[in-house]
């Protein structure tokens, strides 16, 4: 009996935590094979979900940590994607390896981040949102029109036949059988994306608890007081824009490689809003909340796409409402309900939770 | 030696001159106050000293060096700390997090934690509420936190902007007692106040500011008995 009890004690909180981590790791490793048994399309959806999570983590630095509302975030994704496409496609007949281009894409996006950040340093809230929104549109319009007089972006036709990731003869776009397992292109991409995402999560978590993270928190709360603390607010705000943009640039590069075709249409305002929704839904400033929000908003619409149509067919014998319409309707409703009942997000950050639940300033 | 010296300091917002050429000295180790009514230019003067407003370099000397127009975050590193008007605590952060933010420019962790203990012994109330978010503190507690947070940067010169603002009389008394305690610890203080009597009682030297100019100055004790000050600021008729 005693021994039995001690046996049960093996599941102490610390051990339970590790067991949980191991289970999640195993699930993530096995996921693409499980998904590909349903259909390769689902592996692609998982890959896009990871990409969007990566993007949401980048935006979380700007919006969640530093409190700077950015409605044009997708522009950095576009810059990274085009940087990759121009340097690894027949368009300019350049074929640089991906480990060279991804850092270049991050750097170029980072420059664009500073370009956006520098003139908007004094803006906050709604005003900043409007300028960033304009910035996102400017980038997209440039991409649409930079085909004349010199053809740089190939305009609305976009750039096609973009090189996939490859190490020597090992290409990420081909099917391969390794130790008896069939690795399709998307499955190979899945693992490299997953690795990069883990890296992004670690960077986000470290940033949050660093000196820089505390400085962002101070700026979000009260900029004048932050300066009185000795925080170089100019530099720290630019840093938020630059780091967020770099994340976007890397994600864009991966997107270009996976899709092998990009055009300005992939970088419209709705995409920026989608990424922002992921951050807000999950919980601004909370890394795990943002991950949850991004995964939910990536998968649920896809699930709906595959269920709404058959459901209507079986109920009414025909499709009454287009799946696309229902998706947007449910999506909007979900956001409204969230704002009403969980305004700080699904997994709110400790600070935001306090902000929205506790009464403010009681006077002496 | 003067830790801080203002020489013909002028500060303008757009075309309007809020401070029109003032001279002021804060000797090392002393508590000097700047009193005056609303809109006299007191807060503007403090903001200019703290590097939050652009002014001519030579107009402000700190430790003998011109600092006018220097950037505020650099001044904090040089030992100049501002407790802003209206306290400016980080409402969503806890008391402990606020105090940690005060030590943002410091990297000597051991000394920071001993300073934290000092602040807690100066303000036992803050120690009790260290895990509470600052926005839920009372006005007086927030003022204590703002002063404590400024002390965490180990300042040589502490600039206090209206610490009595909006507080109950008992709390004002308490705040002024701690200001005196901080001054006794060797921190030089420039205090801006509307509560002229209290400010003059704790200070060694006082300046009276009116519409952007210094109209009177001298040892605080003398100002307390000056008939003009008594009539205008202490609410006493002759």
The reply to whether A2 touches chain B by the CB within 8 Å rule is no
Hunting for tokens 């075709």 — which residue is that? Answer: A261
Question: Best residue in A64, A217, A221, A228 to probe B by mutation, most B CBs within 10 Å?
Answer: A228
**pLDDT score of B238:** 52
**pLDDT at position A242:** 96
Mean pLDDT of A106-113: 96
Q: Measured between CA atoms, how close is B170 to chain A, in angstroms?
A: 10
- Domain with A234, as residue range(s), is 2-7+15-268
**What pLDDT does A364 receive?**
38
**pLDDT tens track for A177-191:** 777 677 778 888 899
> What was the pLDDT predicted at A148?
83
Say how far apart CA A80 and CA A245 lie, in whole Å. 9
What pairing do the DSSP bridges indicate for beta strands B65-66 and B80-83?
unpaired
Q: Which helix (H) or strand (E) holds B127?
A: helix B124-128
The CATH number that applies at residue A243 is: 1.10.3470
Asked if the structure places residue A273 within a domain, the reply is no
B13 touches chain A (CB under 8 A): no
Does the residue A166 lie in any domain?
yes
Judge whether A298 lies within some domain.
no
C-alpha span between A35 and A31 (Å, rounded): 6
- A173: tokens are 């776009």
A358 within domain boundaries: no
Is A231 touching B (CB cutoff 8 A)?
yes
Name the token pair of A331.
Answer: 């999506």
Residue B88 near chain A (CB below 8 Å)? yes
Cβ count within 10 A of residue A255: 25
Taking the mean position of all CA atoms in its chain, how far away is CA B55? 19
Report residue A143 as tokens: 């991409």
Instruction: Tell me the three state secondary structure of residue B118.
Output: helix
Chain B CB contacts of A229 under 8 Å are 73, 76, 101-102, 104-105, 149, 153
B211 touches chain A (CB under 8 A): no
Is a pLDDT exceeding 50 seen at residue A106? yes
Mean pLDDT of B172-199: 93
The label of the residue with tokens 């009539």 reads B231
Tokens 């027949």 belong to: A90
Burial A119-156 (b: 16+ CB within 10 A, else e): ebeeeeeeebbebbbebbbebbeebbebeeeeebbbbe
The pLDDT of residue A3 is 52
Q: Does B134 touch chain A (CB under 8 A)?
A: no
By the CB < 8 Å criterion, does B73 face chain A? yes
Cβ of A364 within 8 Å of Cβ of B138? The answer is yes
Q: Is residue A259 part of a domain?
A: yes
With respect to residue A240, please indicate whether it lies within any of the assigned structural domains: yes
pLDDT at residue number A308: 76
Q: What is the chain A residue with the closest CA to B100?
A: A214
Render pLDDT for B90-112 as a digit per residue (tens, 0 to 9).
Answer: 988 899 999 999 999 988 889 99
What ipTM did this prediction achieve? 0.84
pLDDT at A354: 67
Interface contact flag, B92 A211, Cβ < 8 Å: no
Contact list in A for residue B93 (CB cut-off 8 A) is 217-218, 221, 351
Terminal alpha carbon distance of chain A: 59
Asked whether residue A27 is domain-assigned, the answer is yes
The tens digit of pLDDT for each residue in A320-346 reads: 777 777 777 877 888 888 888 888 888
Inform me whether the pLDDT recorded for A306 exceeds 50: yes
Is A239 in CB contact (< 8 Å) with chain B?
no
A239 Cβ contact list (under 8 Å, min separation 6): A212
| B121-168 residue pLDDT tens | 999 999 999 999 999 999 999 999 999 999 999 999 999 999 998 899
Strand partners, B133: B94
CA distances from A248 to A91, A99, A281 (A): 23, 16, 19
CB–CB of A214/B100 below 8 Å?
yes
Taking alpha carbons only, the member of A359, A282, A271 closest to residue A75 is A271
| Rounded average pLDDT over A114-128 | 88
Contact A326, A308 (CB under 8 A): yes
Taking 70 as the threshold, does the pLDDT of residue B195 lie above it?
A: yes
pLDDT value for A345: 84
Q: Are B149 and A229 in contact (CB < 8 Å)? A: yes
The answer to pTM > 0.80 is yes
- Average pLDDT across chain A, whole number: 86
So what's the pLDDT on residue A359? 46
Domain count, chain A: 1
- Percentage with pLDDT > 70 across chain A: 93
Percentage above 90 pLDDT, chain A? 48
Q: Is residue A313 part of a domain?
A: no
């Amino acid at each position: 009996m005693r021994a039995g009890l001690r046996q049960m004690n093996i599941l102490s909180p610390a051990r339970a935590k590790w067991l949980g981590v191991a289970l999640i790791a195993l699930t993530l490793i096995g996921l693409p094979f499980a998904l590909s048994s349903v259909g390769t399309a689902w592996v692609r959806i998982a890959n896009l979900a990871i990409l969007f999570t990566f993007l949401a983590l980048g935006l979380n630095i700007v919006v969640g940590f530093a409190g700077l509302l950015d409605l044009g975030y997708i522009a950095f994704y576009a810059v990274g994607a085009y940087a990759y496409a121009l340097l690894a496609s027949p368009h300019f007949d350049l074929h640089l390896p991906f480990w060279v281009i991804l850092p270049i894409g991050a750097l170029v996006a980072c420059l664009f981040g500073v370009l956006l950040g520098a003139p908007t340093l004094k803006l906050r809230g709604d005003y900043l949102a409007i300028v960033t929104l304009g910035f996102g549109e400017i980038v997209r319009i440039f991409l649409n029109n930079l085909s004349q007089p010199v053809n740089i972006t190939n305009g609305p036709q976009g750039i096609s036949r973009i090189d996939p990731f490859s190490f020597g003869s090992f290409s990420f776009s081909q099917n391969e059988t390794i130790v008896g397992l069939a690795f399709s292109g998307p499955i190979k991409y899945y693992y490299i994306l997953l690795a990069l995402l883990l890296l992004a999560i670690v960077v986000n978590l470290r940033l949050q608890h660093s000196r820089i993270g505390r400085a962002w928190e101070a700026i979000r709360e009260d900029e004048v007081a932050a300066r009185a603390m000795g925080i170089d607010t100019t530099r720290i705000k630019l840093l938020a824009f630059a780091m967020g943009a770099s994340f976007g640039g890397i994600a864009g590069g991966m997107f270009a490689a996976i899709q092998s075709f990009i055009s300005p249409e992939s970088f419209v305002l709705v995409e920026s809003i989608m990424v922002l929704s992921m951050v807000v839904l999950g919980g601004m400033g909370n890394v795990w909340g943002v991950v949850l929000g991004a995964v939910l908003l990536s998968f649920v619409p896809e699930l709906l796409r595959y269920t709404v149509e058959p459901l209507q067919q079986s109920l009414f014998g025909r499709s009454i409402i287009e799946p696309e319409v229902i998706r947007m309707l449910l999506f909007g409703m979900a956001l409204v309900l969230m704002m009403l009942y969980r305004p700080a997000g699904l997994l709110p950050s400790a600070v935001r939770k306090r902000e929205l639940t506790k009464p403010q300033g009681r006077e002496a | 030696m003067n830790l801080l010296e203002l020489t013909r300091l002028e500060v303008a917002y757009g075309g309007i001159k809020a401070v029109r050429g003032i001279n002021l000295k804060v000797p090392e180790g002393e508590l000097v106050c700047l009193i005056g009514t609303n809109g006299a230019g007191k807060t503007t003067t403090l903001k200019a000293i703290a590097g939050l407003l652009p002014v001519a370099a030579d107009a402000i000397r700190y430790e003998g060096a011109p600092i006018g127009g220097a950037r505020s975050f650099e001044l904090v590193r040089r030992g100049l700390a501002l407790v802003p008007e209206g306290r400016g605590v980080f409402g969503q952060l806890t008391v402990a997090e606020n105090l940690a933010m005060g030590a943002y420019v410091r990297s000597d962790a051991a000394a920071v934690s001993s300073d934290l203990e000092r602040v807690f012994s100066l303000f036992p109330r803050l120690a009790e509420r260290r895990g509470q978010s600052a926005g839920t503190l009372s006005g007086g507690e927030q003022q204590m936190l703002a002063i404590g947070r400024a002390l965490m940067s180990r300042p040589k010169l502490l600039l206090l902007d209206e610490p009595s603002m909006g507080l109950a009389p008992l709390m004002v008394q308490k705040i002024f007692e701690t200001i005196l305690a901080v001054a006794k610890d060797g921190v030089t203080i420039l205090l801006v106040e509307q509560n002229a009597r209290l400010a003059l009682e704790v200070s060694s030297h006082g300046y009276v500011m009116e519409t952007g100019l210094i109209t009177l100055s001298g040892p605080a004790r003398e100002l307390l008995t000056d008939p003009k000050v008594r009539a205008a600021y202490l609410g006493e008729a002759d």
